[in-house]
Amino acid sequence: MEIELVEIQTFIKKYPPFNLLPEDAIIKAVHNIEISYFRANSSVLELGEIIDKFYLVRSGEIAISRRNGDLYDKLDEGGFFGQLGLLMRGVVRFPAKTTQDTLLYCLPQTIFDEFYDKYDQFSDIVEVENTTRLKQAFESNQDDRNDLTTAKVKTLLTRDPVVLPQTSSIKHVAKIMSEKNVSAILLTDPTICLTQNDTDFVGIITEHDLCIKVIAQGGDFNAPVSDVMSYELNSLDSNAYIFEAMLIMLRANIRHLPILKNKHPIGVLDVADIVQYESQSSLLFVRSIFLQQNIDDLVALSKQLKNCFVRMVNEDANSHMIGCAMSEIGRCFKQRLLELAEELLGNPPVPYCFLALGSMARDEQLIVSDQDNAIILDNNYEHQLHNSYFEKLAKFVCDGLAQCGYSYCTGDIMATNAQYRKTQSQWEECFADWIDHPKPQALLNCSIFFDLVGVFGRIKWAEHLNAFVVRRAKKNNLFLASLAYNALNRKPPLGFFKNFVMENDGKHRNSINLKRRGTAPLTDLIRVHALAIGSQSQNSFERLEDIIEAGILPSTNAQDLLHAMELISIVRIRHQSLDLEIGNIPDNNIEPENMSHFERRNLKDAFLVLSNAQNFLKFRYSANKFRVE
Amino acid sequence: MNNFIVKKSKKYVNNEILNWSAFLRLKKMKSQDTRLKYFYQQGTYNEETPLSDIQFLALDFETTGLDVDQNSIISIGLVPFTLSKIFCKDSKHWYIRPQDKLEENTVIIHGITHSDLTEAPSLEGILVELLDHLKGKVIVVHYRNIEREFLHNNLYNLIGEGIIFPVIDTMQIEADLKQIKNWSLRKWFSKPNVESIRLANSRKRYNLPEYSAHNALIDAIATAELLQAQIKYHFSPDTQIKKLWI
């Protein structure tokens, strides 16, 4: 580079994320900058295309939009973009176009990566922007940080501030407040000529002020609002964190806080916004399940489950965390329904254990889920005497679950089905029969019984049953072979040339069912290995850890399976979350053309891992093999 | 040589030389200086090459004055670019020891100090490197009379041979565009207002930022940005190079 590039150097060192870098890094950046000119209304980055540059706006204006095309943000001189795509290994997540003639400084990815690794000042800024400002989280990490400390206030703003001149009458202000349905209005002084550094409002008036300072005092409604408004103003920059807003509101004992961007108000934060935001957290959600006093309240609460799910996805949770939280919430609904059922029906005549089966037992439940459940009864159960109680109990719970969004099981594997209410010894016999006399056809529909967990009553019984199953299955090669045979039924959607093969039936034509073609066959084959080594874990990731420890798979294969499971799960989760965010009904189907290049490529790799693992399974547990050690 | 040269004053392109490739081949044969011979040997683009395929090089000089016979080059800035990217990485800037005698009291010209220049290499000292940057590229300047004529003259004085190559003149493009715009008006015959087509003013029309610092390299970059903007506004990536070079 030449020293004469000082013009560019002075520019970039004014703006984050460059402003905190040492001089030699600035010079290196300048050295490598490529300049591009775009006319107004031309596209800079298209969704899903490869990105290998980090962009800084030199002049002009850029509009960043969401995947669904909604405007997300506008950037002007000094604004930067592209970091999310770069951190996601090179695919555009947020399309960018110019709204004015724009000159961009583009920094190649190699330099971006180098700065990102080398300078915390740089990575902090692009990362904060990544995880909270852009509100889309794609890297999974950060297990339990409190997100009030990482989310920014501007994410809570839902509307522009309502602004009136301070000369307006109190009556007029109150009228506008009710018309616009806001609880606070910002007031300007029309006589003040603004300089650059002034904020353009002089006071705020809230519902509370009107109540205390006007109505309670018998004040004059026609007096100017300036008589009663608050002049001592607290405000906060839109990039501040939510917890800072809470601190200010607590300290100043106020309920409304103007939020500024470049010294101009872009909204008023209401304390209710913060409460609302926090109430979507999954921990609070679990607690509130147990506070609901009847089915109707539970049903009402269940409508908020999707917000909770979307929020976890946006906060970067991985599929294991989301699966655990959703399963825990599902089990809590069940528990609360059983408590309500017992209140209604009286105490049970004999002890029982209510079971969750399948994904809820594996801690792998997502937002689209049906209910699979069963009951273990005490060995003293007498059909004539006790059946009607448990029939009613099961009906109450299953109907309640259905109303809360957990649809009835299409295979009728529910406690309402009399054949899935058995005593402890009957269940043991039943499992013993499945294991000792395996018939693939019979096993086909009962694989979910091998993922079970107790949710209510004598929970220990579920553990005992599980231990019984594991002990018995481990020794039985024929059973493992039959289970393996079934696990090969569902193939990954890859064609001969490793291209995607689409579903060709029904309304999901030309899409891929990520559950049927991905997570389900993976779960099936992981279960076979887990049973073969006598693992008592239920969750697929935990089972895989056990499998890795037992050393029955080449270690790289087992690691690949972990990654494949996580990838397919998280793609499925994100697509469900996006569907929810734009108001669609989430499902398990994904159209390859709606996937980013990055997702497509990685999904293919993941399916390939599944395909290879299935081949290995076939070879390892073939029925005529003498022994599985 | 004359059959290659046609003087035209048409709408907005002055095609002084019709076939640059052939012209440079001829120059190669006639040139006495091995450095220039090598430069001409690299040739240039086929005249029908679309702009999107062209490697451009923006070039800017600062001189001791405007008289090409009296004054000489004191600094050179250049930066290669394409229709979509300007590559700062490959930019270059030199101070040049002027051939005319510097008066002791003209200490600072364009912020360049006397000692910058007395310790600087001569034009001949950097000629090989300069030609290496120029070769094969389409040179872009703002006001070709300075860059083309000063390089030609200064070289002629040094090695007894001048230099000629095709250029795109962003100032000429602005002037031509103004002519077209005024065509329908009575003013079509009047001279364009020179002030309005200077680099800074031309850039304003494309909403390009103002630069406070001025040196040969920043002005070269400013010229490159201007051409990118002019092409985005008035031409297309498929426009053939013959439409713009002079």
- Tell me, what's the pLDDT at A350? 92
Would you tell me how many other CB atoms lie within 10 Å of the CB of residue B82? 17
**pLDDT tier at A391 (50, 70, 90 boundaries)?**
very high
Q: What is the sign of the dihedral through the CA atoms of A576, A579, A585 and A589?
A: negative
Tokens 């034009």 belong to residue: B123
Q: How far is CA B72 from the centre of its chain?
A: 16
- Tell me, what's the pLDDT at A234? 83
Q: Are residues B218 and A36, on separate chains, in Cβ contact within 8 Å? A: no
Would you tell me how many other CB atoms lie within 10 Å of the CB of residue A201? 21
Beta carbons within 8 Å of A230's beta carbon, 6+ residues apart = A203, A204, A205, A206, A209
Q: Say whether residue B74 is in contact with chain A using an 8 A CB cutoff.
A: no
DSSP one-letter code for A193:
P
**pLDDT tier at A128 (50, 70, 90 boundaries)?**
low
Q: For residue range A144-203, what is the model confidence (pLDDT) as tens digits?
A: 334 555 567 877 787 888 989 989 999 999 999 999 888 899 998 877 765 545 567 888
C-alpha distances out from residue A1 to A9, A35, A220, A496, Å: 11, 14, 70, 51
Beta carbons within 8 Å of A430's beta carbon, 6+ residues apart = A422
Per-residue confidence in pLDDT tens, chain B, 246 aa: 334 443 333 333 344 566 788 888 888 888 888 888 888 888 888 888 999 999 999 999 888 877 777 788 888 999 999 999 999 999 999 988 887 655 544 445 556 667 777 788 888 889 999 999 999 899 999 988 788 888 888 888 888 888 888 899 998 888 888 766 555 444 445 555 666 788 888 898 899 998 876 788 999 999 999 999 999 999 999 999 988 888
Whether the per-residue pLDDT at A260 is higher than 90: the answer is no
Structural domains counted in chain B: 1
Whether the per-residue pLDDT at A22 is higher than 80: the answer is yes
B115: left (phi over 0), alpha (psi -120 to 50) or beta: alpha
Beta carbons within 8 Å of B97's beta carbon, 6+ residues apart = B117, B118, B119, B120, B121, B122, B123
Q: Please name the member of A1, A42, A101 whose beta carbon is closest to the beta carbon of B207.
A: A101
Q: Please name the member of A4, A31, A37 whose beta carbon is closest to the beta carbon of B228.
A: A37
Q: Are residues B77 and A3, on separate chains, in Cβ contact within 8 Å? A: no
Would you tell me how many other CB atoms lie within 10 Å of the CB of residue B179? 18
Q: Say whether residue B223 is in contact with chain A using an 8 A CB cutoff.
A: no
Q: Tell which of B88, B92, B211 to mutate to test the A interface (max A CBs under 10 Å).
A: B88
Of A27-36, A65-74, A273-282, A618-627, where does mean pLDDT reach its minimum? A618-627
- Tell me, what's the pLDDT at A374? 93
Query: Could you give the CA distance from residue B109 to residue B65 in angstroms, rounded to a whole number?
Result: 10
Contacts 24+ apart (CB under 8 A), A435-439: A435/A469, A435/A472, A435/A473, A435/A476, A435/A479, A436/A472, A436/A476, A436/A479, A438/A476, A438/A478, A438/A479, A438/A481, A438/A482, A438/A483, A439/A482
Q: Strand locations in A262-372, DSSP E? A: 264-270, 352-357
- Chain A residues with CB under 8 Å of B86 CB are 34-36
Residue B217 contacts residue B77 (beta carbons within 8 Å): yes
Q: Is residue B23 part of a domain?
A: no
Q: How far is B90 from chain A (nearest CA, A)?
A: 7
Whether the per-residue pLDDT at A446 is higher than 60: the answer is yes
- The chain-wide mean pLDDT, for chain A, equals 82
Whether the per-residue pLDDT at A613 is higher than 90: the answer is no
Q: Are residues A3 and B93, on separate chains, in Cβ contact within 8 Å? A: yes
Q: For residue range B185-208, what is the model confidence (pLDDT) as tens digits?
A: 444 455 556 667 888 888 988 999
Q: Is residue B28 part of a domain?
A: no
Beta carbons within 8 Å of A416's beta carbon, 6+ residues apart = A391, A394, A395, A398
Of A8-17, A98-107, B4-13, where does mean pLDDT reach its minimum? B4-13
Would you tell me how many other CB atoms lie within 10 Å of the CB of residue A146? 11
Domains of chain A are 3-141 (2.60.120.10), 155-269 (3.10.580.10), 280-429+449-460 (3.30.460.10), 476-629 (1.20.120)
Would you tell me how many other CB atoms lie within 10 Å of the CB of residue B70? 10
Q: What is the CATH number of the domain that holds B96?
A: 3.30.420.10
**pLDDT tier at A511 (50, 70, 90 boundaries)?**
confident
Q: For residue range B128-159, what is the model confidence (pLDDT) as tens digits?
A: 999 999 998 999 999 887 888 888 888 888 88
Domain enclosing residue B102, as ranges: 53-236
Q: Is residue B129 part of a domain?
A: yes
- Tell me, what's the pLDDT at A149? 52
Nearest to B209 by CA among A77, A51, A222, A254: A77
DSSP A481-540: HHHHHHHTSS--SB-TTS-B----SGGGTT-EEHIIIIIHHHHHHHHHHHHHTT----SH
Look up residue A136 and give its two tokens. 């889309």
Look up residue A389 and give its two tokens. 């109680």
DSSP A555-584: HHHHHHHHHHHHHHHHHHHHHHHHHHHTTP
Residue type, B118: T
Q: Is residue B246 part of a domain?
A: no
Nearest to A84 by CA among A623, A625, A609, A598: A598
DSSP A276-291: HHHHTSHHHHHHHHTT
C-alpha distances out from residue A26 to A107, B78, B107, B218, B225, Å: 12, 21, 31, 17, 22
Q: Is residue B43 part of a domain?
A: no
Residue A112 contacts residue A15 (beta carbons within 8 Å): no
Count helices and strands in chain A by DSSP H and E runs: 23, 20
Residue A129 contacts residue A155 (beta carbons within 8 Å): no
ipTM given for this complex: 0.84
Residue in chain A lying closest to B206 (CA): A101
Whether the per-residue pLDDT at A502 is higher than 70: the answer is no
Q: Are residues B89 and A35, on separate chains, in Cβ contact within 8 Å? A: no
Whether the per-residue pLDDT at A48 is higher than 70: the answer is yes
Q: How far is B208 from chain A (nearest CA, A)?
A: 7
Q: Say whether residue B85 is in contact with chain A using an 8 A CB cutoff.
A: yes
Nearest to B166 by CA among B1, B14, B12, B9: B14
Task: Give the DSSP H/E element, type plus range, for residue A122.
Answer: helix A120-128
Q: Please name the member of A10, A38, A58 whose beta carbon is closest to the beta carbon of B209.
A: A58
Q: Please name the member of B88, B229, B233 whose beta carbon is closest to the beta carbon of A8.
A: B88
Q: How far is A266 from chain B (nearest CA, A)?
A: 27
Q: Is residue B151 part of a domain?
A: yes
Q: For residue range A348-357, what is the model confidence (pLDDT) as tens digits?
A: 999 999 999 9
Q: How far is A107 from chain B (nearest CA, A)?
A: 11
- Tell me, what's the pLDDT at A281? 67
Q: Is residue B116 part of a domain?
A: yes
Q: Is residue B107 part of a domain?
A: yes
Q: Which residues share a beta bridge with A103?
A: A37, A59
Query: Could you give the CA distance from residue A455 to residue A372 in angstroms, rounded to a whole number?
Result: 12
